[in-house]
Amino acid sequence: MSTKHVGKQSVSLPNPPSIAAGACIVGKKEGEGPLRDSFDYISEDSYFGEKTWEKAESTMQKMAFQKALEKANLPQTVVEFIFAGDLLNQCIGSAFGMRDMGIPFFGLYGACSTMAESLALAALMIDGGFADCTAAVTSSHYCTAERQFRTPLEYGGQRTPTAQWTATAAGALILTSDGPGPYVKHITCGQIVDQGIKDANNMGAAMAPAAYSTLSAHFNDLALKPSDYDLIVTGDLGAVGSSILLDFFKNDGIDLAPYYNDCGLMIYAREEQDVHAGASGCGCSASVLAGHLLNGMRAGRWKKLLFAATGALLSTVSTQQGESIPCICCAVSLSTTK
């Protein structure tokens, strides 16, 4: 009988894995933002020395993984499983990025929720006794995402006020069965939520109901309340989605605001950097978690943190066929103590 399943959507990890290290590699624009000091490497070149942006994204993901290993002071050979994903068609950012690693690989697609999904599964592999060391790796690239999901960059399409800017960023986490933490304590896996939003330029509004669904399930399943956390951070709801999420909780009589932030609002100086509603892309929450948030936990700034990354599971084809946007949110709770 399953003893670790709690409530409808959550699991608790009795042997919580430790995050041995995280690393984040970003582009120039991200390096000009308020979190610049938390990144391990800022590339002035959007091609990262490669011939195409897709190859650049793979290179960025590989750099993040190798930097995380270096910071964990672990050789590549100890990593038993990699969980990785990205936004590109057929997830080629991950497949080509991790191609030469020689490490058992699980490919994921969770759109912008991928860092939470990969972290969740990487942690469960350790808590389940299947591994002692795993990795979670995720990336996005502004230039690959724009031309794949929207228009060629050369087209210079105008962006709507609700649009978010896909971060050029990769994050990698190395998890180990033993270590000083922070520890992965609980996971709440999201259901797909689709409230009928069809505007592909308003991902925040589409994803907010998924974030609300998963966070509510997390609090209910584990009998917790927002104040049990020092920080609750969503992936990339941006200004529009974050405000909707706060409204949803307000309707339930819960004031989430004092404990809440969103990676999509943290990585850029929104006004000065002209990113409209904020950042998006699975590299956004991945790099903010692997850098700023992990550093803050190690420094004692936050002891308990809930990381809830959100993803919009649409494609250009589903949008062209008139479909609304199914969304998902996966939440992982981290603590500096076991």
DSSP of 87-121: SSGGGHHHHHHSTTS-S-EEEE--GGGHHHHHHHH
**Residue 318 binds a copy of itself (CB under 8 A):** yes
The structure tokens listed for 331 are 């939440």
Detail the DSSP E strand segments found in the chain.
Answer: 5-6, 10-12, 18-26, 41-42, 81-86, 105-108, 133-140, 165-166, 169-176, 183-188, 231-234, 260-262, 279-280, 304-312, 327-335
The single residue among 76, 151, 191, 337 that binds a copy of itself, judged by CB under 8 A, is 191
Spatial distance between the Cα atoms of 333 and 187, rounded to a whole number of angstroms: 6
**Residue 99 binds a copy of itself (CB under 8 A):** yes
**Residue 42 binds a copy of itself (CB under 8 A):** no
What is the smallest separation between the CB atom of 181 and a copy of itself, expressed in angstroms?
Answer: 18
The single residue among 109, 201, 224, 254 that binds a copy of itself, judged by CB under 8 A, is 109
Instruction: Identify which range of 7-15, 26-34, 201-209, 237-245 contacts a copy of itself by CB under 8 A.
Output: 7-15
**Residue 66 binds a copy of itself (CB under 8 A):** no
**Residue 40 binds a copy of itself (CB under 8 A):** no
Spatial distance between the Cα atoms of 21 and 9, rounded to a whole number of angstroms: 27
What is the smallest separation between the CB atom of 324 and a copy of itself, expressed in angstroms?
Answer: 9
Which DSSP state fits 150?
S
What is the smallest separation between the CB atom of 113 and a copy of itself, expressed in angstroms?
Answer: 9
The interaxial angle of helices 142-149 and 53-72, nearest 10 deg, is: 140
**Residue 127 binds a copy of itself (CB under 8 A):** yes
Q: Total binding residues for a copy of itself by CB under 8 A?
A: 65
Instruction: Identify which range of 129-137, 159-167, 273-281, 297-305 contacts a copy of itself by CB under 8 A.
Output: 129-137
**Residue 80 binds a copy of itself (CB under 8 A):** yes
CA angle 215, 106, 80 (to 5 degrees): 105
User: Quick check: 220 and 336 in contact, CB under 8 A?
Assistant: no
**Residue 69 binds a copy of itself (CB under 8 A):** no
| Interacting residues with a copy of itself (CB under 8 A) | 1-5, 8-9, 11, 51-52, 54-55, 80-81, 85, 87-92, 95-96, 98-111, 117, 121, 124-132, 148, 177, 189-192, 194, 313-318, 321, 323, 326, 328
